[in-house]
Amino acid sequence: MSLYLKYRPKDFSSMVGQEHITTILQAQAQQGKFSSSYLLYWPRWTWKTTTARIIAKLVNIAVPWDTAVPDLSNHPVSAIIDDGKSLDYVEIDAASHTWVDNIREEILDKALYPPTTLKTKVYVIDEVHMLSKWAFNALLKIMEEPNTYLKFILATTEIQKVPDTIISRCQVFNFKHIQLENLVDRLAFIAQEEQITYEKEALYLIARLANGWMRDAIKYLEQVSILWAITQESVSQFLWVVSAQDLALLIEALRTESYTQFIDKLDQLVEWGVDLYSLIKDLLLYCDEHFDSAPDFYSILVWILQEIAAEMKWYPHPLLIWKKKFYHFFLTSWAVQSLSAQKNPDATSNSGHQKDLDGLHATAWSVQESSSAKNNIKKENVDHNTQQIDQDVTSVKSTSNTTTKQETGENKSSERDIVDTQHTTFQWTMDELKLQIVARLEKIMLKSAIKQHTILQSLKDGVISMIVLNEQFYALLQKHDTLWLLETIASEITWSPVQIAVTYMSKESFLSA
């Protein structure tokens, strides 16, 4: 027998993590006051059907108690319900009994007769949201005025599909994710009962992988327990779970901006067979657990991981997506620190970090120089901040030996604008930014519109000013979906959220300006 079935809860004592439900049901049992209908809700695998069976046992105990609820696992009623030996307890799968005729045959016609072997007749309808509109109407009629010997227990994973008229006649119990500690304690109990050797840290890995689902956790435990020794190594190897130590190494490499260390560890994990989608989830959980310690850093990391997850769906080589995203992360971090060092010459230099990124930023500069072909359209009215960004980036390249120069008040103001508007990671001129956006677009018409009929005039205070020289394409770029796509791409390139302000200007007006 599967461990999940073997250790399926029989009473409240083994239902860990759902105390907000078990406490109310125990109180109802002690006072003998039950609702005529219950609705149990949560997406999946949190003992909804198990709870329905426990409720059915409670309402069929002959005498209410004034103290504690007795052990249901050894009660005669429990055996009758668990073994399905009574016609007074009926479980219906709404997914295969969808139509109104099924409700009439299974419930309406039979509910008229009182129970025979049990005290109360109980109907459990699983996945109740699958019922048709007419089936719900038929069920509603009998739920409005049920007989005293009749109880309904509904279970669903999509409560939004259940009519409000049904919900209003039920006591609704919303299940929740089981806490990590509760999962680990339950897994440890099962391992001890099965005489399985385990490491506590390995159980934490399994619980983290299960993400609050008890059935998943027990399933993973059983999968690895065939080795009769549950260790961190075995869990990582057979379940593709990244250990806490490896996650900490990745995070430390990011926080210390050690590009080589990060890439080496990432390559090692891929060689071990770690699934990169699972790694995203593991890192997000790590961010969630440690967010308060460095909210700025983890906010950026979460944003990067979201971008990676979105792109991995459409790209056949996910590892390259990881390297590209974090390449820009390390590259822009180096540029920001260099600008900061020029502004604050007394700041301590991080020679080890700069040595680690020598090849990285050298490659970036060569790419930037090779793409220096500019748009031949001459623009005299270029925003002053854009020109200053070019001067600052060139200054970073020529003064990487931390040579200090006396800046003018205008230069200081420009650098302060860059920092205050959170565009410290922006390293391209407007023309180069446009080329980067065009390269990432897939639709040919949109690529042509941006490349040939638009001018990126300036980037200031998080807003890119875009001039459109064609009235037809101006209407296209004004569409919400198109504008959202361009803003998403531009935000990814500049490593900061930006908006795009689109204005129309004829070519004659633009050239004469």
Indicate if 52 and 147 belong to the same structural domain.
yes
Indicate if 170 and 277 belong to the same structural domain.
no
Return the closest-CA partner of residue 59 out of 39, 42, 81, 83.
81
Which range has the top average pLDDT, 38-47, 157-166, 458-467?
A: 157-166
Q: How many domains does the structure of the chain reveal?
A: 4
Indicate if 227 and 256 belong to the same structural domain.
no
Percent of the chain residues past pLDDT 70, beyond the cut:
78
**316 domain residue, yes or no:** yes
Indicate if 252 and 312 belong to the same structural domain.
yes
Position 123 confidence tier, pLDDT thresholds 50, 70, 90: very high
Residue 505 has which token pair?
């200007």
Domain closes at, from 239, 256, 279: 239
Indicate if 194 and 156 belong to the same structural domain.
no
Position 68 confidence tier, pLDDT thresholds 50, 70, 90: low
In this predicted structure, which of 63-72, 264-273, 461-470 has the lowest mean pLDDT?
63-72
Residue 287 has which token pair?
């961010």
pLDDT higher than threshold 60 for residue 365: no
Indicate if 253 and 395 belong to the same structural domain.
no
pLDDT in the model for residue 380: 41
Residue 150 has which token pair?
């009749």
Contact 154/37 with Cβ under 8 angstroms? yes
**Amino acid found at 355:** K
pLDDT in the model for residue 187: 92
pLDDT higher than threshold 60 for residue 357: no
Domain closes at, from 239, 261, 287: 239
Give the max Cα distance, the chain.
96
Indicate if 7 and 123 belong to the same structural domain.
yes
Q: What residue ranges in 214-275 does DSSP mark as E strands?
A: 229-230
pLDDT higher than threshold 60 for residue 363: no
pLDDT higher than threshold 60 for residue 391: no
pLDDT higher than threshold 80 for residue 418: no
pLDDT in the model for residue 164: 93
Indicate if 225 and 117 belong to the same structural domain.
no
Position 288 confidence tier, pLDDT thresholds 50, 70, 90: confident
Position 333 confidence tier, pLDDT thresholds 50, 70, 90: low
Indicate if 27 and 14 belong to the same structural domain.
yes
Phi-psi region of 461 (alpha: psi -120 to 50; beta: other; left: phi over 0): left
Indicate if 382 and 455 belong to the same structural domain.
yes
Summarize the confidence of residues 325-335 as an average pLDDT: 68
Summarize the confidence of residues 131-153 as an average pLDDT: 89
**96 domain residue, yes or no:** yes
Position 314 confidence tier, pLDDT thresholds 50, 70, 90: confident
Indicate if 10 and 143 belong to the same structural domain.
yes
Summarize the confidence of residues 33-60 as an average pLDDT: 85
**Amino acid found at 86:** S
**322 domain residue, yes or no:** yes
**362 domain residue, yes or no:** no
**349 domain residue, yes or no:** no
pLDDT in the model for residue 349: 43
**Helix extents (H) in 15-132:** 19-31, 48-59, 76-82, 100-103
pLDDT higher than threshold 50 for residue 370: no
132 vs 136: CA distance, rounded Å:
6
**363 domain residue, yes or no:** no
pLDDT in the model for residue 405: 39
Boundaries of domain holding 231: 180-239
**pTM for this predicted structure:** 0.56
Indicate if 483 and 500 belong to the same structural domain.
yes
Burial class (CB in 10 A: 0-12, 13-18, 19+), 365: middle
Percent of the chain residues past pLDDT 90, beyond the cut:
9
Domain closes at, from 174, 198, 221: 174
Q: What is the pLDDT of residues 230-265, one digit of tens each?
A: 888 788 777 777 877 888 889 888 888 788 888 888
pLDDT in the model for residue 415: 36
Summarize the confidence of residues 65-77 as an average pLDDT: 68
DSSP string, 124-173: EEETGGGS-HHHHHHHHHHHHS--TTEEEEEEES-GGGS-HHHHTTSEEE
**364 domain residue, yes or no:** no
In this predicted structure, which of 124-128, 236-240, 400-404 has the lowest mean pLDDT?
400-404
pLDDT higher than threshold 80 for residue 115: yes
Return the closest-CA partner of residue 90 out of 110, 104, 63.
110
pLDDT in the model for residue 32: 80
In this predicted structure, which of 33-37, 80-84, 213-217, 408-412 has the lowest mean pLDDT?
408-412
**224 domain residue, yes or no:** yes
The CATH code of the domain that includes 426 is 3.30.300.180
